[in-house]
Structure 1
Amino acid sequence: MSVQQGNEQIVRTEFQKQARGFSNKSLSLNSEDLLKWIHRHLPLNEGVKMLDVAAGTGILSRYLAPYVNKVISVDLSPDMIAEGIERNNALNISNIEFNLAHAEQIPSDKEAFDLVISRLAFHHFTNPKKVLEEMIRVSKLSGTICIVDMISPEDNELYHQYNHYERLRDPSHTNALKETEFIKLFENAGLDIQTIETIDVPINVNKWLELTSTADQVAVQIIEDIQLELADKKTTGLFPYIESGEVMFTQKWIKVIGGHETLVQ
């Protein structure tokens, strides 16, 4: 079994556990403010055909669907897709179509979409470069490509620590890239970066662990390490703090919007 095949199986297994939890309105996944932040600067109108890559249950697809003509949402997890279709039907949303597909092999023709977007998925990919190349392939030459994801600290030690704890919590996590790595990814793909923004996202540790159904023993170890960092006895890369009696940490998200360089005047 290849690394990619092994990761695919882990992704399906982990998101089978997580699918129902994605409807929890208290999670940052469903934050209206964060969805508005993603929406800002996107070229949306009633003629736009949009592709949502590794869409999960379609949270972003549903948020943006009223602003575009058609949304195709692709994901590797049948359970996430089933949950997404159920939510779409409950809300009578008719312009979203779900397809089961790997992000490296999108079942669409070349230059099929005006907007190709991926939210909170790149940290699950074994080959981010190939996924971006596939997003470019299915994007029109006049189209827009947008990636939103969590990012790791630039410091190498903190980078490895941060990703270590994310993988402990969710084995389908591969690596959250640094901001500089996302910039390089876009530049190496021949894309012109039109917008780049970051935002600090407060994460409740208990809800973070509950979403992924992290094994009790592992969850206890993560919490113990976070408590040690709060006592200045350890570093995890998570930057934890206490707010209203709850253990929190700050997750940084990035939004990178780009277009085909040859079209930039």
Structure 2
Amino acid sequence: MSTEQGYYAKGFDSSISKTHAWRTVENSCAYLIRYIKDNDKVLDVGCGPGTITMDLARRYVPKGEVIGVEPIQEFVDAGNLKRSEMNLKNCHFQFASGDKLPFEDNTFDIVHAHQVLVHVENQVDVLKEMKRVTKPGGIVCSKDADLETSQVYPTKLDETLKSQFLAKTKCSSTHPQAGRHLRKWAIDSGFSPMSISSSASLWFIANEEDRKWFGKMFRDRALHSTETLIPFDAEGDLRKRQEVAQAWDDFIRDSSSCYYLMHGEVVCKK
């Protein structure tokens, strides 16, 4: 199985995809902006629904090229349809896995992955591939959640809602502490510590509109996705899904509610 496909082990899931499709460069990889030149050639590894990929092409590298790769054909097809509708001639999507990139050595100025290493078993192998296809002087970048840092207020909702984010760490390759491991994985993949710039950022959801939108997305994901919250117990899994959905309803209704999650970031110069 391809490294990224462990996250979609049961195939494409629109309930999961919808919780990824809100991502843009500004809200999901702002740490990268200062490194981008308008004529760069960029590879977006494990691009999912491609919203970051297309945002890069449209706003940040209008004179360059952006390629998004995914081992889920539905994402590839949907991405190519959307970029055609947007008339983005400097962007396209193709089928590929992060540990077997179909490109020559030294091809890209920037090779980027967002929330990919957190979900694969062989993070170092993926980083080595990302490094291989990066030009000398180019950069490899990754941002990944540190799922154990999830925090919810009111505290009565914390354990229930946190369980949704941590459930995949119990029955897949998803790593509960990926954000804090990024620097180590980069060093293990062959980057010198002096060539690695590390940072962190925060998702914080509290304002009325954001809270309602975010809560509804993850409520729907709890109820309708193929994710398992309680492994090997269908009845227990259903009860847990309903419990999580109810907690998101409470989160949405309570104007004092908030959610935050820390992320690690690395920029590695080749």
Same fold (TM over 0.5): yes
Q: How does 1:32-111 map to 2 (within 5 A)?
A: 35-36=26-27, 38-42=29-33, 43-66=35-58, 67-68=60-61, 69-111=64-106
Which residue does the alignment assign to 2:116?
121
Distance 2:244 2:13 in 1: 25
Distance 1:52 1:5 in 2: 16
Distance 1:249 1:225 in 2: 14
Distance 2:223 2:173 in 1: 16
- Structure 1: stretches of 5+ with no match in the other structure: 231-240, 261-265
Q: Give the RMSD, CA atoms, in angstroms.
A: 3.6
1:61-118 alpha-carbon deviations (Å, 9 max, x no partner): 1111132100111110001111111211121111112111111000001111000001
Distance 1:7 1:256 in 2: 19
With 39-48 and 92-101 compared, the bigger mean Cα shift is at: 39-48
Which residue does the alignment assign to 2:13?
17
- Provide the TM-score with structure 1 as the length reference: 0.73
* Aligned 8 A contact 2:98 2:129 in 1: yes
| Distance change in 2, residues 1:6/1:87 (3 Å) | closer
Distance 1:6 1:145 in 2: 18
Which residue does the alignment assign to 1:175?
175
**SS of the counterpart of 1:197?**
strand
1:146 aligns with 2:141: yes
Distance 2:72 2:266 in 1: 25
| Distance change in 2, residues 1:196/1:126 (3 Å) | same
* Aligned 8 A contact 1:71 1:96 in 2: yes
* Aligned 8 A contact 2:10 2:226 in 1: no
- Provide the TM-score with structure 2 as the length reference: 0.71
- Structure 2: stretches of 5+ with no match in the other structure: 150-158, 206-213, 229-233
Counterpart of 1:39, as a letter, is A
* Aligned 8 A contact 1:109 1:138 in 2: yes
2:251 aligned to which of 235, 242, 246: 242
Q: By how many angstroms is 1:144 displaced?
A: 1.1
Q: By how many angstroms is 1:175 displaced?
A: 2.0
Q: Matched residue pairs, number?
A: 235
* Aligned 8 A contact 1:58 1:84 in 2: yes
* Aligned 8 A contact 2:140 2:269 in 1: yes
Distance 1:9 1:28 in 2: 16
| Distance change in 2, residues 1:226/1:40 (3 Å) | same
Distance 1:250 1:121 in 2: 20
* Aligned 8 A contact 2:32 2:141 in 1: no
| Distance change in 2, residues 1:199/1:101 (3 Å) | same
The structure whose RCO (Cα within 8 Å, separation 6+) is larger is 2
Which residue does the alignment assign to 2:201?
198
Q: By how many angstroms is 1:214 displaced?
A: 4.3
* Aligned 8 A contact 1:147 1:257 in 2: yes
Q: By how many angstroms is 1:211 displaced?
A: 7.0
Q: By how many angstroms is 1:125 displaced?
A: 1.1
Counterpart of 2:8, as a letter, is V
**SS of the counterpart of 2:8?**
helix
| Distance change in 2, residues 1:46/1:250 (3 Å) | closer
Counterpart of 2:185, as a letter, is L
Distance 2:118 2:238 in 1: 20
Distance 1:10 1:37 in 2: 19
1:151-200 alpha-carbon deviations (Å, 9 max, x no partner): 1337xxx9xx77751357xx665324343311211222224222412213
2:243 aligned to which of 224, 233, 236: 224
What percent identity do the matched residue pairs reach?
A: 18
Distance 1:163 1:54 in 2: 19
Counterpart of 1:244, as a letter, is R
Q: By how many angstroms is 1:149 displaced?
A: 1.9
| Distance change in 2, residues 1:226/1:175 (3 Å) | farther
